[in-house]
Structure 1
Amino acid sequence: MVWTRAAFSPLVLTLPMDDYLAARVIASERKLPALLVFAALRGLRAGGVLVIDGDAGPEHPDPSAYDPHRDVVAAGVARATRTALDALIELEGAK
């Protein structure tokens, strides 16, 4: 399960991480919900590709310790970009 919430700064707003962990949430995404709501309000199609590159579990309780400049992040973003482009090509071909 992926949890989404338009909470751009967990350092400002405390998130109920214990509840999410108990619900077996495996990822947290904070920007895609706004895109999906905007698209739905405008009657547009939208989607997203998520890269899970960290662990928000109890052993990593400090969100300020996250480092987005690691090789694993760059590799995940590259794979996600290829996946998104492949999906767009498939959608174009399905017309």
Structure 2
Amino acid sequence: MTITDDASMNGSTVYRLRPGWRLQWEEAQQRHVLLYPEGMVQLNDSAGAILATLDGQRDVDGVVATLQAQFPDAPPTAIEQDVLEFLLDADRQGWIHHD
């Protein structure tokens, strides 16, 4: 795992969606959206794939491994970097949290 600017994140950190937030596939928009009490966030494919792996059980290393298995043609380091950057950003925005 690459060093990040969040000292509380490491390979064993387990993230989950904030209470009251829900990931959903929107057929009409052909994309995942993140629903929360005040509205909705439209997600790109990468964000939807990452959030879909956050089950409150899988740690960061597990998220990376799952996505590397789902997308074997993608460079592993690119997946890892995308996951780490997205999780940091989603945490800062309050979409997800960890214990």
| TM-score, reference length from structure 1 | 0.29
Bigger-Rg structure (1/2) = 1
TM superposition score normalised by structure 2 = 0.28
* Higher-strand-fraction structure: 2
Structure showing greater relative contact order (alpha-carbon pairs closer than 8 Å, 6 or more residues apart): 2
